Structure 1
């Protein structure tokens, strides 16, 4: 009988050891094995989400089951989870994921503000982006600019076109504030290094001129040449006579086709009827357009006309310009 009991105890002990080894192996596999081996998935944690909420999302994605390993890990580590959107990369383990969430390494999205956009279009893009939290829908432009620290400024042209990275849930105001700060910093820098003899009185006028260059330029290599034409016209007292200013001033009344009556109807942005720069920028100029406005190319051209392929033909005289218009616009030999 004693021998039987001894043998039984040995068998039980052996079974316990084997079970312990098996459980230890499962635990080590849990700590090291990837959750997702191939596909990439995303989890979203709202503020105050629990560890169980995280695992429940993984269960929905088919990547985990709330078994004893997850329970033990949660009790041992007691991780503090930060709200946000997190990306599960291929090969990432459970430990890697929880560590990422504890550090708040949220997934980054990108928004590219394109050169030549108007402020109205930028605002519409932000309003339509589901990743961005809307906070300025009821703000008029004047109040928005006041909150951005530029009371009395037109919002047009005041946001630097470039790519901005952000976490899901960022507010539209925060993105605009970043773009506005970037534009102001860039404008101040370029104004400080401008050519000394420009017919411009302040950085705001440089911003306006850059917006005209941005809207007229089809090929990047022509920015400085177009800037040179505008600067020589300002210096000589000629009207700028640039179509994009007329289109901008027409606003929603512009149907996509510029007519002669538009060029002769006076409004503050009509550079065919008024001398000098328009009262505000007409678009968001990029850094290259700002640099061109600050460093226009030397030359004698006073006119340019589109060739229809994105490039322009530059002329010194009105007769030469009219001939170029006949050739490239009217299709006359």
Structure 2
């Protein structure tokens, strides 16, 4: 059997392949470190499993994208004909369409699991109704629009394979596809809702973290990491103008490639930004990311004296009382750990009384 024809990725196709490989690799590495850290402290939770499912869909998404760039994604129409026979050109067109459909499905299902993982993790750190309701709304809307989009893609053509193989459609075949542009319309609705949910996943964590009782440096570090999620939100907005090309056949695979590359950025950055906060035990070893104290951070001023002063009180009975007070009367320590959203405040007031006298 002769090997299938391929097109060497250049220009936009090569850039898409590079972004896909880099973000796919970084996502896998970051998530693997996340699982290592969480498992080592026995803190694996639902948000880890949700992110694992999202990563699986994203890896499949990256695989289909990589295969698609060798089938014509990111290339102008002329690339399908130059140097290829008519039959090879047809095979390339069918392959490009098939991998694009599979990309759309896996991308669509990757997003809700990524967002739900981030939202579920945040639910452990807040009980404020305004945040709880908002986070649940993000999860519900994300799953809802994904399901709608998935159904729309699956029923757009009958049989389903007619979505990429024109030989199955009339008049050659007996199949057919919806020509009303419904997919494009649904894409706009889904993208609009995705913009809202993406920005919610980027903004809500900042408010939740800022309200927690932890050191200011730790807050800034975590907010900086989660701010990467804003890049995912920006990618959704950048992608919007390109949705029109779903209905424009000229240079279809070149123009649609812009949608693909920004979709890869959205998912990849989402996984990385959602996993980095869990790497705190590793990142804290780097000076700019954390202090030398593992999980305890002191708030307020340090009132502990460098020297402990002993005060002697002599009473008429010949007995002396030595009083030693160490540290501030109220020292507050804040503990942040992955197992709980509670803030543990340790208040310690230590006083040692030493009483001595002449033996009788």
With normalisation by structure 1, the TM-score equals 0.21
* Greater C-alpha radius of gyration: 1
TM-score after normalising by structure 2: 0.19
Q: Relative to total residues, which structure has the larger helix share, 1 or 2?
A: 2
